[in-house]
Amino acid sequence: MPALAQALVSDKPDVIIVTSDWALYPARAATNTIPIVAAPMGADPVRAGVAESWAHPGGNVTGVCLIAGELEVKRLSLLHEALPSVHRIAVMSAHRKVVEAGFPPLRKVAAQAGLELIEIWVEGPNDYDAAFAAMRAGGAEALVIVPTPELFRDNGALVALSAKAGLPTIGGFRESAVQGLLIGYGPSLKELGQQAASYVERMFNGAHAGELPFQGPTHFDFAINMKTAKALGVTIPPSLLVSAEIID
């Protein structure tokens, strides 16, 4: 990423759009003048040191922030509501050095709900088989997949592994359920793209990145794949069905 960021900056673009924290940090290290639009980032931009405040970032970075830790709490809650008898839930993620910093609220909510978390950390696709073997060995009854860029990219492979392991799984976007996971919950990818485009438009019309406030997503998709539910023998409570998009 640092080498890619340096190469990109040397091409002197008018704006750089980054689609994750892992793209943002090297881009920011490579330039403090070219505007950078996060589309999105997961960490709080102030705590991450890329903005003075949400309302007035002050530097060359602005965009959309998800507050990823809060979304993982919501995903865990939805999975527990769908499967109230489940008590041991695996949480799978990459980028432990960055992602684990957002886990304390997730661990706290799990403990309050009487849930045991089995934390599984992977570095890439070569770790997936071993990760699911560890879940089975640990007695996991369901799975939360943290939508880091790599894990979302590999959703198709993870769908197959989840099905083989018989694990009801929630992923980070609507598309996760469309591709075969039991549940998908997260911000609208379409809206994230539109938000990034609106920032670029405003910059091309004279606005400065440091003057454009960070914003969060305004629309969240919630989808349930009923074919997957049937294959797993899972009955989804009506309280969830009424608020979800049903994928048949």
List Cα–Cα distances, 126 to 4, 187, 194, 217, 235, in angstroms. 24, 28, 34, 33, 33
Residue 189 has what pLDDT? 87
Alpha-carbon span 94 to 122, nearest angstrom? 5
Coil, strand or helix: which one is 143?
strand
For residues 211 and 101, state if they share a domain: no
Q: State which H helix or E strand residue 220 sits in.
A: strand 220-225
For residues 137 and 77, state if they share a domain: yes
For residues 118 and 179, state if they share a domain: yes
Report phi then psi at 87, rounded to 5: -130, -20
Label residue 174 exposed, middle or buried (CB < 10 Å: 0-12, 13-18, 19+).
Answer: buried
pLDDT tens, 60-101? Answer: 999 999 877 789 999 999 999 999 999 999 999 999 988 898
Alpha-carbon span 240 to 248, nearest angstrom? 15
- Flag whether pLDDT at 104 surpasses 90: yes
Q: Count of H helices and E strands in the chain? A: 12, 10
For residues 165 and 86, state if they share a domain: yes
Residue 102 has what pLDDT? 87
> At 56, which CATH number?
3.40.50.2300
| Mean per-residue pLDDT of the chain | 95
Q: In total, how many domains does the chain have? A: 2
pLDDT tens, 140-188? Answer: 999 999 999 999 999 999 999 999 999 999 999 999 999 999 999 999 9
Per DSSP, what are the bridge partners of residue 225?
247
For residues 49 and 115, state if they share a domain: no
For residues 62 and 107, state if they share a domain: no
Residue 68 has what pLDDT? 77
For residues 194 and 180, state if they share a domain: no
Domain holding 169, by residue range, is 68-187+221-247
- For 143, other C-beta atoms within 10 Å of its C-beta total 26
